[in-house]
Structure 1
Amino acid sequence: MKLPATGTARYADGACLGVLLAVALADILLGPEVTLLALFAAAPAVAATRVAERGVVGTGLFAGLIAVALLLHDHLLGSPEGFVPLLALGLVTVFSTAAARSRTRHQRQLTRIRDVVGAAQQTIIGPLPATSGPARIAASYESATDDAQIGGDFYEVAPIRNGVRLVIGDVQGKGLNAVRTAATILAAFRESAPVASRLETVGLKMSCALARQGTEERFVTAVLAELSDDGTLTLVNYGHTAPLVLPAPGGLAEAAPDRPGLPLGLDTLGESRPGRHSRTLAPGDRILFHTDGLDEARDATGDFYPLTTRVGLLRADTLSTGLEALRTDVHRHTAHSSPADDSALLLLEYTGTGRSPADRLPSPEPGPDQHGCEKCIVVDCPIPIRLRPHLPSTGGLSREQRA
């Protein structure tokens, strides 16, 4: 893998050569009584910090040519005063070349590792569709970990019949363990969201996946949402920050649950149910789903980010522009401190362009042909009936289905 040369690196090359020529000029002006040849050995050592081994060798050879020219000028070539600086320059060039080779090898390895990590992170939380069913969607993620694209926060969208479902959540803790837990939760959502008839069932599947992972003392706050074509919004809240609704005419409303729900992973400790919230959206209404990394962003004095007074930024012409403006405002608020927590934002706008009630597809009832195959409740099953496992017989299948 070839490491690309940047504009800054090219400027540094010119500066290094310029310094060598300046030292040579100073040596000539100072006369034979003062020699600056020892300074030339620094050139390959400096070059080793930023260029490949060929560049170090080239720098050393260029410095050697200038040094020989100066020795000829001062009539010192072959004398001990000239031999020692040249020997030092040669040794420094050799060791600097080895150091540059080691540095570039580690840089290539680090680049490959970052590529693999980036691909893995994109697999866990991939890009969301700009439009899904009756909604336009935009998302933004910021990790508190340096050089990481994701952390313990997550979101996902699943299109369903006559609507769309989504989840946003926050894993307790940070680091790789939090990322693994987020991957487990997302896998459970992707598997259950298209086939479960109720959002609570999706939440139960996610909670079961967390329990099967066997991670002790780890829980996940989350909000599950379903937006139907007719504008009906249903939220199921597991101890997560309540989303904010921005009606198209103006104003702000909090989609607070009817009761505080326990986070996933703690909901199995006793009898509990998640909080619920339902409302009907009008075309143009927007909903901000976010994790607590946004609420808990602090400035240098410790004041929290005033989200409720800044949500007007989300009324930009496009959803992505609004999220970008909000991120910029948060960075301005926390300019003197690094992010203390991951932050996930998901902005949804109801377009009002879904199917009309007369055109909506009814949820099919289980029939004998679906025996032995997990029933898809909210999406049409993409598997042909003849390929579904454990069919009791072919008596109920048509000739085309048996073919």
Structure 2
Amino acid sequence: MEHVGIWNRFAGFGPGPSKHVLLAIPVLLVVVITVIDIVAPADVHLGPLLVIAPAITASFAGPRLTGAIGVLALAAEAGIALHDGILFSRNVVVQMVALAVLSLLIVGYSVVRERHGRQLAQVRSVAEAAQHVLLWPLPSGIGPLRTASVYLAAEDEAEIGGDLYAVTRTDDATRVLIGDVRGKGLAAIGEAALLLGAFREASHQHADLTALTDALEQSVGRYHGEFTPPEDEAGAEERFVTALLLEIPDDAPLVKMTSCGHPAPLLLSPEHSVTALRLHPAPPLGVGVLVPSPRTLDVFTFEVGETLVLYTDGVMEARNQSGDFYPFAERAAQWTECGPEPLLRHIRRDLLAHVGGRLGDDAALIALRRAPTHSGHHLARLIRAESSRGRVRDSPERSF
């Protein structure tokens, strides 16, 4: 599990030039203004422009460096006046006092900004630690699958998001959950923790995927009834969790899915083929529908060498500066031959490049690739069995 840090460490968005390199800009500016003012005609005065130097320094440095550049600017102003022989004139004294006052104000701003930055860094550190505890890193392989996951935290978000995922094993299959709790903060993290714990426990108690989903619905409903904060009672009806549950049998190349308002995964096949699967989603967990409709179990073929990419809406809703959404399926078609880890590495880099390094919402992705096995001859029998209870589909909504 990886996070987008404050410096956008991934996708080419590195920490940028060091402070020593950036410091050369205001120093050079002071030197240039001083030299030009000295060689310029007597009626041209550029000394007031020296205030730009500490203002620029405050954008990347702390109060000490900003103050040092302010002192350097004052010294340059005094040097210009001394060269012109007007050091103690009223005009120069007023300019120097004004420069000193403005420099002090800029240093004060730098102090406040640095304190706020430390507080925000502490909050982010706690949030990331909580996410690491909540979202256990997926193993590189589980059952007949190769797996990888990535979590991208929103750049400007200090609160903990509600994106979640988990993988667990049953006797003869692998079950996967990916979801997104509406909202952020402690309420979202509490609901996500409850759902993950319920999934890991209930996966071993329910043989059917729809029964497992019903159990999770009951857990979320109980949580809403017992742990709704008083200040949130007016908006309790808006609390819900979108979720997608998968079951991948060990002995047949197929995957069963049931969606609770969550985006359908992409199926990546060799030769740059990407299929957006068509699901029949039920309402999100926790909505509390008065007359719930039967859940649909969608079944798709999932062959050796194919990859399923699960994701949250932070990926779908990512926009660039022009407001264009991230063309996920089109971009993913470039990397259908990649394994799970390099695939997510490419997607992460490309996604961050699309949004300019700043995600507006948290995003989670899981890649599941079926590895070669000696089994698979039970496919026809299992598809016929699942057809009587759900829907077996291998037709795309769209291909790229």
TM-score of the alignment, normalized to the shorter chain, above 0.5: yes
The answer to whether the aligner puts 1:226 opposite 2:247 as a matched pair is: yes
CA contact 1:162–1:354 (8 Å) conserved in 2:
no
2:230: which partner in 1?
none
Which of 103, 125, 130 matches 2:140?
130
| Alpha-carbon distance between aligned partners in 2 of 1:219 and 1:71, rounded to the nearest angstrom | 69
Q: What SS is found at the alignment partner of 2:108?
A: helix
- 1:24 aligned residue: 34
Alignment of 1:161-310 (within 5 A): 161-171=171-181, 173-176=182-185, 180-214=190-224, 215-231=236-252, 233=254, 235-239=256-260, 240-243=262-265, 245=267, 261-266=282-287, 269-270=290-291, 272-278=293-299, 281-291=302-312, 305=327, 307=329
Change (3 A) 1:21 1:167: same
CA contact (8 A) 1:48 1:100 kept: yes
Following superposition, the deviation at residue 107 of structure 1 comes to: 1.5
Name which of 301, 312, 317 aligns with 2:338: 317
Larger RCO (CA under 8 A, 6+ residues apart): 2
Task: Name the counterpart of 1:50.
Answer: 60
1:113 aligns to what? 123
TM-score, normalised via structure 2 length: 0.68
Deviation at 1:155, TM superposition (A): 2.2
1:182 is aligned with what amino acid? Answer: A
Distance 1:323 1:89, change over 3 A: closer
Which amino acid is 1:65 matched to?
A
Aligned to 2:233: none
Q: What's the secondary structure of 1:7's corresponding residue?
A: coil
**Structure 1 letter corresponding to 2:88:** G
1:301 and 1:77 map into 2 onto residues whose CA distance is: 55
Q: CA deviation at 1:84?
A: 2.5
Q: Distance in 1 between matches of 2:250 and 2:143?
A: 7
Give the counterpart letter for 1:29 in structure 2: V
1:103 aligned onto 2:123 = no
Change (3 A) 1:207 1:74: same
Residue 351 in 1 paired to residue 361 in 2?
no
By how many angstroms is 1:320 displaced? 3.1
Change beyond 3 A, Cα 1:106–1:291: closer
3-state DSSP class of the match of 1:51?
Answer: coil
User: Distance in 2 between the 1:108 and 1:345 partners?
Assistant: 30
Deviation at 1:311, TM superposition (A): 6.2
Identity %: 30
Q: 1:91 to 1:169 in 2, by over 3 A?
A: closer
**Shift of residue 136, structure 1, vs aligned partner:** 0.6
The one-letter amino acid of 1:316's match is E
What amino acid does structure 2 have at the position aligned with 1:72?
A: L
Distance of 1:266 and 1:153 partners within structure 2: 17
Alpha carbons of 1:131 and 1:85: their partners in 2 closer, same or farther (altered >3 Å)? same
Where does residue 15 of structure 1 map in the other structure?
25
**Alpha-carbon deviation of 1:192?**
2.5
CA distance in 2, matches of 1:65, 1:346: 58
CA separation in 1, counterparts of 2:192 and 2:346?
27
For residues 160-194 of structure 1, the C-alpha deviation after alignment (integer angstroms, 9 at most, x for no partner) is 444421112344x4544655543432232133324
- Mapped to 2, the partners of 1:41 and 1:244 lie a distance apart of 55
Work out whether residues 237 and 287 of structure 2, in 8 Å CA contact, stay in contact via their aligned partners in 1.
Answer: no
Q: Contact 2:149–2:367 at 8 Å: present in 1 too?
A: yes
Aligned counterparts of 1:17 and 1:278: Cα–Cα separation in 2? 66
**Rounded Cα–Cα distance in structure 2 between residues aligned with 1:111 and 1:194:** 40
Root-mean-square deviation (Å):
4.3
Unmatched 5+ residue regions in structure 2?
A: 1-6, 8-14, 225-235, 378-400
Deviation at 1:284, TM superposition (A): 2.7
Shift of 1:280: 6.6
Compared CA separation, residues 280 and 39, structure 1 to 2 (3 A): closer
Residue 349 of structure 1 aligns to which amino acid in structure 2?
R
For 1:329 and 1:40, the matched residues in 2 are separated by: 41
Q: Between Structure 1 and Structure 2, whose CA radius of gyration is higher?
A: 1
Rounded to whole Å, the distance in 2 between the matches of 1:71 and 1:260 is: 76
Cα deviation for residue 328 of structure 1 reads: 6.9
Counterpart of 2:366, as a letter, is L
